[in-house]
Amino acid sequence: MLFNCECVLLLLVGMSRFKSDGAVGLSATIFVVDDEQMLLDLAEMILEPAGFKVCLFNDPQKALIAYAASKPAPDVLVTDYAMAKMSGMDLIRECKRLNPRQKTILLSGTVDESVYANSPIKPDYLMAKPYHIHKLVEMIHSLITS
């Protein structure tokens, strides 16, 4: 999904006002998977100042390989839904097969909850794109502390 300049500008303006409360330190690792580099860069700009260790992947298959090898598993997996090689739901399903307690956030500008309504595997949160950076950070904090 392509974002217009206005959406990117709104995200950047919001980021300039973001302040970390320091509640979660660098010990929390977040895997972010999206096949659009600009959105990975934005996620990194949002999450690193909030105190998270961020691992970025533009290929869901490479993310799955890294996930399987990671010890310990990331605290949260944030993934786009629509990607060329594997959907975000497929990635979530495979990661939860390896670690059923994996916390996940599915990002999408094209689908809603119906995409996983009949699936036994569901993300913890679904977030519509474009999203407010504060909401993403809040969701991650919520998942880590739950």
Listed by start position, the domains of the chain span 24-145
Q: What is the pLDDT of residue 131?
A: 85
∠ CA(92), CA(95), CA(97), 5° rounding?
Answer: 105
Q: What is the pLDDT of residue 132?
A: 86
pLDDT band at 11 (very low <50, low <70, confident <90, very high): very low
How far is Cα 39 from Cα 110, in angstroms, rounded to an integer?
A: 15
CATH architecture of 24-145: 3-Layer(aba) Sandwich (3.40)
Q: What is the pLDDT of residue 130?
A: 87
Q: What is the pTM of this model?
A: 0.83
Average pLDDT, rounded, for the chain: 85
Q: Which is more confident, 102 or 14? A: 102
Mean pLDDT across 125-141: 92
Is it the case that residue 106 has pLDDT exceeding 50?
Answer: yes
User: What are the strands, taking DSSP E only, across the chain?
Assistant: 29-33, 53-57, 76-80, 103-108, 125-128
Mean pLDDT across 121-125: 97
